[in-house]
Amino acid sequence: MASAYQNLSSYDPATVPDASKMRFGIVVSEWNRSVTERLLEGACNTLERHGATDGNIHVFRVSGSFELTYGAQQVIKYADVDAVITLGCVVRGDTPHFDYVCQGATQGITTLNATQDIPVIFGLLTTDTMEQAEERAGGKFGNKGDECAVTAIKICDFICKLKK
């Protein structure tokens, strides 16, 4: 949903299940670190607010947003997690590089979701300006990290209910 219509940090806490028994991997891009670290902080704070413990939140860093797919794939393969959250930020520049990175990361994460048993949450900001990114990383539109954490908790609960 476009953040112009909804604050990314706005949700009804009563609709979020208890996360105390859930394990999360977070793959965060080091590129545009001033933004991605705030996304990470939002995600971790939200997970903890809903019961996840520090020991059940595992953070892994990759160099850029294009590497989020590979990082998420390796977390699925080697870490004992119930969901993976990917966090990155790509800001449009003067070359088509933006399009390639955004399309590649989007397709890669979509492919992981279609082929793996562990859900991968898409937390890639794709903005025209750094100001827009900052507005979505704890600014006037909230924090995309919060939204990703809530999504991860809800999809884990969804899977748990299916397996009963």
Q: Which of 70, 97, 111, 128 is catalytic?
A: 97
Record the tokens describing residue 2, joined without a space: 């476009």
For residues 134 and 11, give the distance between their C-alpha atoms in angstroms, rounded to a whole number.
Answer: 20
Which SS3 state, helix, strand or coil, does residue 71 take? helix
Alpha helix positions (H), the chain: 33-49, 68-78, 97-115, 130-135, 144-163
For residues 110 and 77, give the distance between their C-alpha atoms in angstroms, rounded to a whole number.
Answer: 17
Q: Are strands 142-143 and 137-139 parallel, antiparallel or unpaired?
A: antiparallel
* 50 a catalytic residue: no
For residues 13 and 29, give the distance between their C-alpha atoms in angstroms, rounded to a whole number.
Answer: 28
| Catalytic residue set | 97
